[in-house]
Structure 1
């Protein structure tokens, strides 16, 4: 599905199942969804219970530490920007800003060590590939990843810890009937969503605006446009071309298309965000747009649970970099930018050389 209204319908319609897409033999985009019952492998009541547990943990953490997260994000962005600018140009925006920015804030929020998060990333990035990994290759990275998360859970149960993971485990202990496997799956989803995904979106988002130097200059001159610029980046420069696979649980008619029961459906977020029926001149990158009903964070029951945090990290990055490095620019032609992996499921860049 590529049209805006069709994509929204599929994302919101319970007739399209992520649970069935996670079952053995189902068409597969990436092996991850079949390995654990995470937020992208569940439907209905089970999915709602995982979201409910996560929401309670977020709320408890915010109540205990009001405004701490946003202050920490802003301080981190400022410090890392200054640190990058203190070195000789060119720098690598990915290595010198995006990765340490996400690592620092994810570790603080989740209550993980840098070593734990790096070990998670190194294996997780393989199992979200779309290159058709063999079962042996998947297993080679899945087993150490599974051991790591189980060890994290065990240590948080034995010794007091701070952070969102510890809060989720505390909340889980008060529940009856919440499967242990679903708890582990929720933690997999959470660590990947906070510790890995923002690197991809922030780096690709920053490249999106740097590819349009007139828009970057406008933002440096008119910082009041930070909110609009952030949303336009999320619309035009969303780093994920397609959503997860869903399986039709029954025959569904969408416009002139009939989707048969059992057929796999992919929704293209990037295409929906450039639907001319919703966005005038949709291929133009324009931070002066006023309406932003984009689908960068998804829609419906599986909408990104950390969308506010993702928005905040991107907007704060823009604010810090435009104010402290107004002359920032790509140091290589955009054609020389490359993906981290040929099997990447997203526009996960391998390097972003910049000058100022």
Structure 2
């Protein structure tokens, strides 16, 4: 498990420093602790809770085998992100976000293939048959492609998630990911809008120490997910030969053994057949309710959903009947980091989900994010 970062560590890294109060985004108010000397201070307890939630989700995505694309083109973040992410073998963009990177992925793949074609030319000797001017042009093209797209050469399909440092600077990446319904993880400062982000990590995205502190935790979580996937594969390979092993052939009985068996059978009386009573499994077990995905409720993350399931609230119908105060008590007992969650609207959302009113639920959640409700 990734080392649980403490509030003290984040404080030392300067993660709590926000922007000037006149530059703030009102939608970040739930994550702001106070104002001091004209600067907003981020609530680090909420940062820790949100970071744990994001790490859990990133770990699952990495364990499923999907790639996570990291985006950070600002000067303070590019070197840190490139260093941390290259160690876990994940794709990253640190130079410039190529427009259509996600929405026009086919064209981007063509550019990557062009880079591979130039490499083949150099290996098979075709490159040496070109004129000096042509070789220079090809080298320049190769260098440009390597600079912009070198880190995504192994990304053969759209990523399973995207992690962004500074959503205001990378607003095009956010819009493209939104359009394709790709989960967005991001470090969000007090001047940014957290509404389009699926997993918000409220943090200072301008200081190198702050970025490094968050990126260390995030990459450790991804590395754990990759390690789990590797272990599962190794266990699967170890079990495969055992399953395929043919059963040992029984030695055929000799004539003498056959004769003894025949003699014993003739002397032994036929056994009285006992009537077997069929035991019917209880109907309740056969009709056991399948647990619902409670993370579809706005405000309920993976850890909150796990706490509810552990307390018997594992379906939308049960959550719809639950008392918000009881839900709050369950969350607080499971972890003090979930004490800030407000489950007042969860039964209402769960009722819509239980009734299959997904469009109505989505509309309600969009309005709630926009501050209407």
Q: Is TM more than 0.5 here?
A: no
Q: Which has the larger radius of gyration?
A: 2
* Interval containing the TM-score (normalised by the shorter chain): under 0.3
Select the structure with the greater relative contact order (CA < 8 A; seq sep ≥ 6).
1
**When the two structures are superposed, what TM-score results if normalisation uses the length of structure 1?**
0.24
**When the two structures are superposed, what TM-score results if normalisation uses the length of structure 2?**
0.24
